[in-house]
Amino acid sequence: MSTHSDWITKDFGAFKLRFKPYTLEMRYVFTVASFSRTTTPVVLTQLEYDGVVGYGEASMPPYLGESQESVIHFLNKLDLRGFNSPFQTEELLQYIDQVMVNNTAAKAAVDIALHDLIGKLLGQPLYKIWGLDPAMTPPTSYTIGIDTEDVVRKKVMEADQFKILKVKLGLETDKMIIDTIRQCTDRPLCADVNQGWKVKEEALEMSHWLAERGVVFLEQPMPKEQVDDNAWLTAHSPIPTIADEACQRLADVPSLQGVYSGINIKLMKCTGMREAKRMAELAQTLKMKVMIGCMTETSCAISAAAQLGPLADWVDLDGALLIGNDIYDGMKVIDGNCVLSERPGIGIIAQ
């Protein structure tokens, strides 16, 4: 980790905001239907109030259109001098959301730090403040990226503690990958197609083929723009469909009812914990399934998302396990289960 002097510090009186870029190094080349990468840029944040520091993070995979430069530009535009307490949560986060459009990961970096700070000031984990039972969190899936037979087999063998595997699909290798995994294990699978299928009839045929092989849901099977095709597939598929790229923020959720069976909520897409919780509650009201997902992130953002795990039907919170240079100690995965700590806030400490 870079030294403390590398932090950019903004002093707002009651609050101090610090931030700096950091690069996550992947344990494996990470391949999905549209690209491959070996690193992920992030920006780490700290929000200090009355000597107490909350931690946050922005993770920017390439397809979201944010970068370390854009996040730092956004954070430099913030002026928190109009606020004198972190418990002005609604006003603070409304202000941050209207500073610039989009920039959802940058906004999440402040939201997470603010929630961590509030939990520390109250001396309680967020899940307790929200009245949630961590024992209700589903086991996390572990992601197997698109790769050769040998590497897929190796990854499956390394993932033996996980009760469910998430498989990246969307290329001509789909059946090979599933067949290779099925030679190694009969554990349940979920398939993330990352918009890789284009023809609804072929997608339906694949959904039946996958259902027969123990796949329990399809994530973003076709391009988000193909609304009618996705709705048709959802109506006919033997397994649920989950919106990922099609679902970013709270305002998106009502229009997805009937198009998908459920939504994948990610802090980096929706501006953080406040909106993520509202999305989960709205989806439940609409009788839609809830998945809590992640980007490639440190244990900071992963532990933040895990506070919402009890609201989910499925969680995919393996992002910190896919990197080799995590700098926080937080939510642990033990026997495939997300184990939240009793520490206040989001439950992390810097290593």
Q: Given this model, what pLDDT does residue 29 score?
A: 81
Give CA–CA dist 111/148, Å, rounded: 39
109 and 201 together in one domain:
no
- Identify the CATH number of the domain in which residue 188 sits: 3.20.20.120
Binning pLDDT at 50, 70 and 90, where does residue 1 land? very low
Q: Look at strands 262-265 and 215-219 and give their pairing.
A: unpaired
Higher pLDDT, 8 or 30: 8
Does the pLDDT of residue 63 top 90, yes or no? Answer: no
Does the pLDDT of residue 3 top 60, yes or no? Answer: no
Over residues 326-348, mean pLDDT: 96
341 and 253 together in one domain:
yes
Over residues 321-342, mean pLDDT: 95
Region of 195 (left: φ > 0; alpha: ψ -120 to 50; beta: rest) is left
25 and 158 together in one domain:
no
Higher pLDDT, 64 or 326: 326
Domain count of the chain?
A: 2
Q: Last residue of some domain: 66, 88, 123?
A: 123
Does the pLDDT of residue 298 top 90, yes or no? Answer: yes
94 and 8 together in one domain:
yes
119 and 146 together in one domain:
no
96, two tokens: 């941050």
Residues 136-181: pLDDT tens digits? 999 999 999 899 999 999 999 999 999 999 999 999 999 999 999 9
Does the pLDDT of residue 216 top 90, yes or no? Answer: yes
Binning pLDDT at 50, 70 and 90, where does residue 2 land? very low
- Identify the CATH number of the domain in which residue 88 sits: 3.30.390.10
Give CA–CA dist 336/243, Å, rounded: 24
108 and 169 together in one domain:
no
Over residues 24-48, mean pLDDT: 87
Q: Given this model, what pLDDT does residue 33 score?
A: 65
Residues 185-208: pLDDT tens digits? 999 999 999 999 999 999 999 999
Give CA–CA dist 29/15, Å, rounded: 39
> What percent of the chain stands above pLDDT 70?
98
Residues 219-256: pLDDT tens digits? 999 999 999 999 999 999 999 999 999 999 999 999 99
Lowest mean pLDDT among 42-56, 59-73, 174-188, 210-224: 59-73
56 and 41 together in one domain:
yes
Over residues 86-114, mean pLDDT: 98
Binning pLDDT at 50, 70 and 90, where does residue 5 land? very low
Over residues 99-106, mean pLDDT: 97
Does the pLDDT of residue 16 top 80, yes or no? Answer: yes
242 and 151 together in one domain:
yes
Q: Last residue of some domain: 100, 123, 146?
A: 123
Over residues 324-334, mean pLDDT: 97
Angle between helices 104-122 and 273-285 (to 10 degrees): 100
Over residues 6-13, mean pLDDT: 97
226 and 178 together in one domain:
yes
**Structural domain for 194, as ranges:** 128-350
88 and 194 together in one domain:
no
51 and 143 together in one domain:
no
Q: Last residue of some domain: 123, 148, 177?
A: 123
32 and 139 together in one domain:
no
Distances (CA, A) of 89 to 86, 115, 246, 269, 275: 6, 9, 28, 19, 12
The rounded mean pLDDT for the chain is: 95
Over residues 85-96, mean pLDDT: 98
> What percent of the chain stands above pLDDT 90?
92
